[in-house]
Amino acid sequence: MILKKRFLVSAMSLAMAGGAVQPAAAAPWVRGFVVGSYEYAFRYGGKAGFTRTGEIEPGVDCRHGSSTHFADDVRTKHAVASQAWRTQQEIDWIAAPPGLEKVRAPNLTRFFIWDRALSHRGYKKEIETYVNPFAAEDPGQPEVTGRIGDGFNLDGKVKASDFISPDGEQGIDNNLYRAWGCDAPWRGNGNATLHLRANDKMQGGLYTMVVRISGNADPMNDDNAVVEIGYSPDKITQNAKAEVGTDYSYRILKSEQYTRLKAKIRNGVVETEQVAELHTPRIAWFYDQTGDTNFTQGRIRLNIAADGQSATGLIGGYRNWRDLYAENTFAQDGGQQGIREHEDHVALYYALRRNADGMYNPKTKKYDGISSVYRIKLATAYVVEPGQPMEVPKLLAEEDRKAAFEATKLAVITGTDTRVPQLVPPGTSQAAIGIMERLVVDLPSKDFFLKTLYRQRFPGEDEDGIPPWMQDPLDKKSQAPQQQPAKPRQEARAESAPAAKP
C-alpha cells in the first residue's frame, strides 16, 4: 500500500495581478475513509457510580437491566420446564447432569447438554427450536424503555412511539434498538461483547468497508456531493498500537455490497439522499454471516472531523427482520450462541416480529422489515478503483458452511411464513449434533441423555451419531481422546464455552 497525500485535489494555477493573489475557483475534490468500527446504533443509559462488579446496571434505556437467559442452572431449568412433554427427571437432570465430576470437561459437557435441550422447546419434542422459533412460547425479552435513540426519521412521520435523537430531532425510527437494546451481549458502553467481537474480526481481515466522498466545491460545504460506500478486498492495516492505520489505499468494488448516493454537506455534516436500496457489507464475526445488508429506504449521515482525519456516522434503513435473526442465531448454532452470550433467540425472534415497522407485505398484511441503524467510525484512507473489475472474493474452505448457513436462514423464513416446522438443513451443528455425543462418552448418565434428548438424524451418520460433515477420516477411535468435542469447520472456530455456575 502506498502512502499518499490526504486529499486529491485538481491543480489550480495562481494568477498574480498587481501583487495580489486572485481567489481560487472551486475544484473537484475527493476524500476517502476506511471503517474501523461497525456496530448497531444502541445506546447505553447506565448510571454513574454503579459499583456492583461484573454487572451492567439498570439505566434509563433498560429499566430492568440486561437479559439473563441461561446464565445459570436455575434459569436453564426454568426454560426447559415450560415444555409439558418433559418429565421431572429430565428437567432436573438437564439442569444438573449427574456424574459431571467424572468427565474431564464438566463445564463443556453441561454446556452442550443444555444446547441439545434448549434446541427443543417447541410444542413437540421433534421440532428444533432455533430454526422454528414460532413453535415455542415467547420467553419474554426486556426491551428498551427510554425515549432517546440514534437514527433517522425513515418514514417521514412523527409517531408517539418514535425515539428522539440526542440533538432533539423527533420521529427517529430505530426499532431494532427497541427490540434488542437490552440484550446482554449487545449492551455496554463501548464494551458490548458482540460489538467487540465483530469489530475485532473486521479489523483482523474478515471483511473491509470503505467510504469515498467527492464533490466540486468545499469538502466541508457542498450541495452536490457524492457518497460511495462498499466492500474492499483489502484487509485493514493497523499501526503499531493495533489501531486502524491512516492514509493507506483500499480498492472499492462496485459489483456488489456497493451503493452510490447523492449528498449535501453542511459544516462537515454529510447527509445523503434516501434510496430504495442501500447495499453495504453487513456485521459479521464469521465468514458464514458475511454478505449484503440489503437496507430498504436507506440513508447515511457522516460527521467529518475538522482536520479531515476521521469521521463518525450512522447508516440506517429497514432490514428484513428474519435476516437479522438468522445472522445472529446461526453464526455457530443457536444453543451455543444463546448459552454463551445469555441471550434467547426465541425471545429475540418475538421481539423482532413485535417491533417490525417497515417493508409492508400486502399478501401477509404484516411488516417484513424493522428500522435498523448502524454506527460507524472511520479513518482517512485512499479509496481507489481496482485495476480490473472483480467480484467479492470467496473463501473456498468455508463455502460449504456458508451454504449451510444460507439454507438454514431459508428454512427460518419458510417456517415463519407458512407456520410449518422445518427440518434442520445438513451441514450445521444445530442442537449440538455430533458434539454432545463425544463429550458425554465418560458421563455416567450418558445413556439417559442420548436416549431422552431428541435430535434429528441425518444420512451418513456413523455409529456414534456423528454426521458426515463432522467426521474426520484421520480420527481413529483407538487414537482420538474421547473427552474432546468434535472439531468441524464451525466448531473449531467457536470460542471456549464459559464456566457455568454450579
Average the pLDDT over each of 190-194, 211-215, 280-284, 411-415 and give the range with the smallest value.
Answer: 190-194
Where is pLDDT greater, at 55 or 463?
463
Where is pLDDT greater, at 90 or 60?
90
pLDDT per residue over 13-32, tens digit each? 333 333 444 444 568 999 99
pLDDT per residue over 473-492, tens digit each? 765 443 333 334 334 444 43
CB-based contacts of 55, cutoff 8 Å, min separation 6: 65
pLDDT reading at 8 higher than 80: no
Report pLDDT for 47. Answer: 61
pLDDT reading at 46 higher than 70: no
Report pLDDT for 338. Answer: 92
8-state DSSP, 407 = H
Integer CA distances (angstroms), 420 to 122, 400, 415, in order: 12, 26, 5
Average the pLDDT over each of 101-110, 184-193, 380-389, 443-452 and give the range with the smallest value.
Answer: 184-193
* C-alpha 363, offset from chain centre: 29
Name the percent of the chain lying above pLDDT 90: 78
pLDDT per residue over 139-166, tens digit each? 999 999 989 999 999 999 999 999 999 9
Rounded to an integer, the average pLDDT of 335-342 is 92
SS3 312: strand
pLDDT reading at 11 higher than 60: no
Q: 286 falls in which pLDDT band (50, 70, 90)?
A: very high
Rounded to an integer, the average pLDDT of 100-124 is 96
pLDDT reading at 378 higher than 90: yes
Q: 191 falls in which pLDDT band (50, 70, 90)?
A: confident
Distance CA 345, CA 347 (A): 5
Burial-class residue 92 by CB neighbours within 10 Å (0-12, 13-18, 19+). middle
Report pLDDT for 480. Answer: 39
pLDDT reading at 397 higher than 80: yes
Rounded to an integer, the average pLDDT of 216-241 is 95
pTM of the model: 0.87
Average pLDDT value for the chain = 87
Task: Give, for 249, the enclosing helix (H) or strand (E).
Answer: strand 249-251
CB 244 within 8 A of CB 379: yes
Where is pLDDT greater, at 68 or 353?
353
pLDDT reading at 345 higher than 70: yes
Report pLDDT for 312. Answer: 97
pLDDT per residue over 423-435, tens digit each? 999 999 999 999 9
pLDDT reading at 12 higher than 70: no
Cell of 345: 433467540
Q: 50 falls in which pLDDT band (50, 70, 90)?
A: low
Rounded to an integer, the average pLDDT of 400-416 is 95
Distance CA 279, CA 317 (A): 10
Closest CA to 176 of 200, 207, 152: 152
Rounded to an integer, the average pLDDT of 191-219 is 94
Q: 494 falls in which pLDDT band (50, 70, 90)?
A: very low
CB-based contacts of 88, cutoff 8 Å, min separation 6: none
Report pLDDT for 474. Answer: 63
pLDDT reading at 62 higher than 80: yes
Report pLDDT for 65. Answer: 77
Report pLDDT for 331. Answer: 86
Name the percent of the chain lying above pLDDT 70: 86
- Site of grid cell 418433559: 86
Q: 60 falls in which pLDDT band (50, 70, 90)?
A: confident
Distance CA 214, CA 227 (A): 7
CB 1 within 8 A of CB 248: yes
Report pLDDT for 288. Answer: 92
